[in-house]
Amino acid sequence: MSNSTSQGSLEYLNVQTMRILEAMNFRHNHNTALYSDGTQLIGIVGDRGSGKTTLLHSVCEAAARQHNWIVLPVVRPELMPASESTLVAMIGQMARLTVTQPDLFSSGEGIAEIEQLSHNVLRAALYLGRETVQDVLTNSPSLGQFAADSASVLFRASTLTDDLQSLVVSLLRETGRQGIIIGVDDIDLIPGRLSQLLSDVRLLSSCPGILPVICLSWNDLRGSLRAEMMSLYPSLDPASLEKSVAQQVMKTMRPDRIFEPLQLPRNQRLDYRPIESDASLGEVLLKLFSLIQGKNREPLGQWLAQQLGSDERRVLGFAWLPDTYRGLEHLYYSASSLIGALSGDRSALELGQQLRQMVGSVSRETSGFDVNLEIQAGGSGGQANGLVAVAEWPNYSLRISANRESKRIFQSRGTRILLREVARPLATERLSVDSRQSETRGHRDLTMREMSGALLVQSLLSSSIFEDPPPSGPLSLVDDSCVFLQEVRIVGLPTDDGFFYIPPSSGIVYVDRWTKTWNWIVNQTAKSDEGSAPADRLLTNICVATVQIWSQGRAPELVEPARSLRTAFAEASRLYVTFAATLIAEDDWQWLPAAAYCQWYEKLLPNSFHDALLTADTLQAVLETWQAAISSGSRADAGVVGLRDVYSRRMGVQSSELKSSSRSRAWLYGYRALLGNVAPDLAILLKEFEKEYVERGGRGSKGRDAVEENVLILEGSSRYSYATRKTVEAIEEEQLLRRVLAQLKP
């Protein structure tokens, strides 16, 4: 029996035990069979480790103690030799009751009769157990012999039933009990014997006074029945096979007599503690995460402390917790062992082994995915017992889903900014590659549990346990992930990529923070009062949220918007200089948050330094501060070189390509101030777009102010039924609309 329980789980165990007893006693008190055909059976179903055995034993103990039942020892078929009949074992226990539980028989009367009946029943069961009709069919040399032998088998079966009934009546009379409970645990563990087991249980349950209580897992039961039937009837088609399996299950178990062990609700699982343990699972994990988070690494300990201290239990934060008591128990002891290894004088390899078990505890429970972790002792970097590891992951990738409606942040003078909130992260697995054809076979969306578990494992692997670089994982949110969250038109032109970004993020802590940061920015900016320079306000909020929510982990509801962009930008720049001083060239953003922040500051933040987005004064001040920060420290060259690469790609490298680009790229001209400072050769190429840009920027379009005052573009619709993809009809409609509008333009 498992020793794993907690205050909450004990309560659930007692509740479910009483419910089952009520169902059992209902039959007895109302003299009704649990089945309309007179059979009775109680089923306890659940996944492996969910507490079925614990519940079964709890019911048996309560029944024997409180409810006046005879309870036989629980039968475990998987521990019995293949040659031994389960039916014989169960009947044998009944037959030996006068010896094994003599206290049940207060008076000695009737014992002799019981013993005689026991002898008859046991002999009939032994005889019956030797042969079935199927066996007779297989072994009979002729039809006549089969007829005779099978009749004999069936006669013995009916004899057994009668003798068994007589024995049960006598037992109940002599003991004064209301029935006999026979517990059968893990009935589904042995393919090849399952059908016989179910048949034995049904035979017993057809005898009034006997109540079998069986434990099984639905999925394993179906799987075992399927395997059995496939071997017996190899020509059966899949549909018929499934139907037969379903019928077998339905024949055995009536839905209203099925009970599941109650699992701890998700928000109580961190309170779980094994019996005689002082610390809860949450406390153990907090201690472990605090030990391994290390300097400048992902703050797992801080993150968990925040989750524990908050009433809101976000799904991403806790979906990785095991569902079953056994899973919680394994996680508890894995974490405890790892703490012991970290705290004591253990070798590096032993530490690695403990970590591997911890990773396994999480990955197996969430999805069964396996991270192939190769660990060996290091020794470089001055660490004598350092660990070096390489991780091989399933083919996962991460993206995000967004709310459908956009929020209009800014619309003026041909410049429009629409932003969408993030709904949640999503992960996908690219299925196995066909080695012959070198093609993937499709994709599978991970469940929230699987994704959450994988993110946590990724965080564990990027902890301070490993030498640099630690093994990295596949689940990251980068700038490409959020391009579709924004739609920006500059001087009336559609733009081809994004302008507002937050740092790239991986691991459970920073992916969680990423979504909170972005949504705070969108909501804060959208609800701000309309006034001058709303794009300045947006950039201000980006700086505030990145520093306080993304980098420092503050709760969004505690973050106040800054009073000015200069203040917010100065703070963001100070943090950049601090982080840049701690980094070396080989540091990667995937496992060092400081490197992710620096990458954002150097390459992603400047995308918003556009003169159609920021006012002239703001743009100048921002560029001066940014350039000063970039020039500080050892990352000066890396920062500028990286940015040049970004804008080379954005603009197209060849000037001839730029000339032949459509005029829709004229918006690039708004970057002349930025590029003039970091890449003057690129800034020269922008001259091609000056006329178009200036014309559109405000000096030419006399209708702009009049139309802006009187016309509003709205994204939401109460009636439009959008197509989910571009059909031929949609393309034709769009072409017609564009032709008409082109003709209407003066």
Partner 1 sequence: MNPTERGQLKLEPDLLWDTGFKSLTRAQVSDILAEIYDTLELRVGHRIAEKLDVNQLATFERIVAGHDEADALAWLRKTVPTYQDTVRSEYSHIVNTLRNAAELRKSSRSEEAIVDDASDRD
What residues make contact with partner 1 under the rule CB under 8 A? 404, 412-414, 416, 487, 489, 492, 494, 698-727, 729-730, 733-734, 736-738, 740-741, 744-746
Helical (H) or strand (E) element with 456 = helix 448-461
Angle between helices 534-545 and 565-580 (to 10 degrees): 40
Closer residue to partner 1 in complex, CB, 346/407: 407
Quote the least distance from Cβ 727 to partner 1, whole Å: 6
Quote the least distance from Cβ 700 to partner 1, whole Å: 8
Quote the least distance from Cβ 721 to partner 1, whole Å: 7
Closer residue to partner 1 in complex, CB, 214/419: 419
400, 528, 566, 613, 653 from 409: Cα distances, Å: 21, 9, 20, 11, 32
Closer residue to partner 1 in complex, CB, 272/499: 499
Provide the CB-side half-sphere exposure for 468 (13 A, CA): 16
* 178 token code pair: 């209301």
Closer residue to partner 1 in complex, CB, 38/494: 494
Quote the least distance from Cβ 604 to partner 1, whole Å: 24
Q: What angle do CA 729, 734, 740 make, to 5 degrees?
A: 125
Q: Which of 74, 48, 49, 44 is nearest to 61 (CA)?
A: 74
Quote the least distance from Cβ 415 to partner 1, whole Å: 12
Dihedrals φ, ψ of 263, to 5°?
-90, 155
Quote the least distance from Cβ 533 to partner 1, whole Å: 11
Q: Which of 571, 672, 565 is nearest to 617 (CA)?
A: 565
Torsion of CA 482, 486, 487, 490, to 10 degrees: -100
Closer residue to partner 1 in complex, CB, 469/492: 492
Quote the least distance from Cβ 707 to partner 1, whole Å: 5
Closer residue to partner 1 in complex, CB, 248/415: 415
Match 């029944």 to its residue by tokens.
Answer: 63
Torsion of CA 353, 355, 358, 364, to 10 degrees: -70
Q: Which of 259, 332, 318 is nearest to 12 (CA)?
A: 259
> What is the three-class DSSP state of 71?
strand
Closer residue to partner 1 in complex, CB, 30/699: 699
Closer residue to partner 1 in complex, CB, 150/406: 406
Quote the least distance from Cβ 404 to partner 1, whole Å: 8
Helical (H) or strand (E) element with 44 = strand 42-45
Quote the least distance from Cβ 706 to partner 1, whole Å: 5
Closer residue to partner 1 in complex, CB, 282/534: 534
Q: How many residues does the chain have?
A: 746
Spatial distance between the Cα atoms of 162 and 207, rounded to a whole number of angstroms: 9
Spatial distance between the Cα atoms of 282 and 274, rounded to a whole number of angstroms: 12
Closer residue to partner 1 in complex, CB, 13/612: 612
Q: Are residues 294 and 23 in contact, defined by beta-carbon separation less than 8 angstroms?
A: no
Q: Are residues 324 and 48 in contact, defined by beta-carbon separation less than 8 angstroms?
A: yes
DSSP 435: T
Quote the least distance from Cβ 495 to partner 1, whole Å: 12
